[in-house]
Amino acid sequence: MNPATREYIRQNFAAYYSHDRVSVPPSLLQREWGFISFDETSKIPMRRHMAFQSREELASYVRVTVPRHMFFSTAYYEFPSAPTMNDKIWAGADLIFDLDADHIVQGVSYDTMLSRVKDETLKLIDMLSDELGFSKRSMSLVFSGGRGYHIHVRDLEIRGWGSSERRELVDYVCGIGIDPAFMLSGHEGGGGGWPARYRESLSLELQCIRDMGAKDGVKYLSSLKGVGEGSARQFYEEIDSVIASVDDLSSPVLLMKNNALRAIIGGEYEPLKQRILSKAALTDEPVTTDIKRLIRAPGSLHGGSGFRVTALDSVADLESFDPLVDAVVADFGDNEVSVECLFSLTMPMMGQVYTIEKGINRVPIPMAIFLCCRGIGEIGAPDS
């Protein structure tokens, strides 16, 4: 990003922050704050260990400094501005889930990426509420302004959980450490959750092998580690009955009956692992287990997109939420400016689809800021 582009973005951020835009989290006095500036020459990448006594004090600081990125602690501290973590005296932390495209999908367009992350967020919300008993009213949902969503859970009962308790929770939603023996042991009256997801995944994989036909199916099974042709042939002959028992949630599946089945449910069999992974909620594990994390502040601007970090009124609003409309800062104005782009792309924003060509483009200011923040374009090119 050249100096002219950086200054253009900073000025637009300054205009945005000239109004009191940033939301304060509950228990403001116990939160640490951190800021990344527009000064790329600074030897301090983030200024942190800061605390504010009021919303007005925070707003004044932001108006004066105009940060490029802005964060507050998920933790509560007795002394949040203390210069070391030990001196802060930890007093609990919100439970945070971070769904980011880096962990979910790559190599797709920005709008497709956001759609895919929304699907994962909806999946996680259902797991938390339907299977783990969290009330949706206790969840605060925030669009990160960049590539995903944050779920804040502020139940007092879980505020004191350490990393180990949070690790158990994130292992569950991510499907980590699944025990095939338990998943296939059978549950009276049927069931849902991971036993149902695991059995559905296994059934689909077995159906795929069956549909190869006898010759190719036996050849494929015998190529698996530890599976001879005899075991492969025997298993293929019985595969329909195995599928039937897998589909019956109340019926146990005989795990050790055949080497082929043991190879498929073993941890090294990639096709089944991928099917299971597709049913997990792909949250960023370190964020949930970190009890001293900094998270983006709702109402602030994301320096990598120019979008607003947007808190939704309720999790029920996620279905209709469109970040390419609802998180775009309309106050930037609809005047067009020239941006020189490194490559061409098609990008929906503000209810329209923009075709961006390599070279000089005239686009509305919010689109120009997005392109520049993403490193796609530079401000200051001559008008076309």
Domain membership flag for residue 91: yes
Say if residues 75 and 92 touch (Cβ distance below 8 Å). Answer: yes
- Determine phi and psi for 155, rounding to 5 degrees: -60, 135
Same structural domain, 214 and 237: yes
For residue 337, give its domain range: 333-379
Mean pLDDT calculated for residue range 108-126: 92
Domain membership flag for residue 384: no
Looking at residue 29, the DSSP 8-state letter turns out to be G
pLDDT band per the 50, 70, 90 thresholds, residue 383 = very low
Residue whose structure tokens are 């370190």: 286
* Residue 301: strand pairing partners: 308
> Does the structure show a pLDDT above 80 at 377?
yes
pTM as predicted = 0.88
DSSP letters spanning 34-61: EEE-S-TT-S-S-EEEE--SSHHHHHHH
Say if residues 111 and 347 touch (Cβ distance below 8 Å). Answer: yes
Q: Coil, strand, or helix at residue 246?
A: helix
Same structural domain, 16 and 126: yes
Residue whose structure tokens are 């055949």: 258
Same structural domain, 206 and 353: no
Burial group, residue 102, by CB count within 10 angstroms (0-12, 13-18, 19+): middle
Same structural domain, 228 and 91: no
Q: Encode 107-130 in three state secondary structure.
A: CCCHHHHHHHHHHHHHHHHHHHHH
Among 80-84, 204-208, 333-337, 352-356, the minimum mean pLDDT is found in 333-337
How confident is the model over 219-256, as pLDDT tens digits?
999 999 889 999 899 999 989 988 998 888 777 776 65
What pLDDT shows up at residue 255? 60
Active site residues: 98, 100, 284
For the beta carbon of residue 144, count every other beta carbon within 10 angstroms. 24
Same structural domain, 95 and 239: no
